[in-house]
Amino acid sequence: MKMNLIIFGVILVALVAATLFYQMRTPNIQNKIVNVPISVASEKRGNLPSFAFETIDGAAYESGDLTNKKLLINFWASWCAPCIIEFPHLLELAKRYPDDITLLLISSDRTPEDIPKFTTRLTEAEQEILEQDNVKMIFDTDKKITQGIFQTFRLPETILVENGGHMIQKLVGANWSVEEVKRALNLSARPSD
């Protein structure tokens, strides 16, 4: 009995240590983006990787199809509390700048059915923004894009991409403001600002 408790304790400590190591790991996108505060992100960090995807409404795209505008790539999930907090800010940017920004929402939910369960809880105005041409939502089957291409393991993360596909900043977490993103992407003021 005493030996079982010791073994259980060792396993528990190993699991806690492994979990902490996994959570503390800083993801990187093949050294193309550095994780710096948005206020100091001014240099280009690399080109957007090439990848194909299908939106939840069945439209097929390649990442290069989205480089004619500034691009916000958001990695999120409906079970992620910080993702839910930042979601309205992302939608606000898409609404204010439909001619300047494409918002690519990449869901890491457990099943594709989790996405509409989440979106139906949004306000009617937010649901209307999701229907805009500049908003694309996908379910990342097997996390091929999220973890495979972008090495994103903690949610939420947002990558800011300039016209032409130059990645300039990776925002880890939901602790950012619309004004900071506007400055980073050099978005001009709109009458609704």
- In this prediction the pTM is 0.75
pLDDT bucket at 12, cuts 50 / 70 / 90: low
Q: Is the pLDDT of residue 39 over 50?
A: no
Q: Are strands 135-139 and 70-76 parallel, antiparallel or unpaired?
A: unpaired
Domain housing 148: 34-184
The number of domains in the chain is: 1
pLDDT tens digit string along 108-127?
A: 999 999 999 999 999 999 99
Supply the CATH number for residue 71's domain.
3.40.30.10
Taking the C-alpha atoms of residue 110 and residue 22, their distance in angstroms, rounded to an integer, is 20
Which residues have CB under 8 Å from 155's CB, separation 6+?
A: 75, 76, 77, 80, 82, 83, 108
User: Do the domain assignments include residue 156?
Assistant: yes
Report the share of the chain in percent with pLDDT over 70: 79
User: Do the domain assignments include residue 174?
Assistant: yes
User: Do the domain assignments include residue 11?
Assistant: no
Question: Partners of 135 in the beta sheet?
Answer: 103
Q: Is the pLDDT of residue 175 over 70?
A: yes
User: Do the domain assignments include residue 152?
Assistant: yes
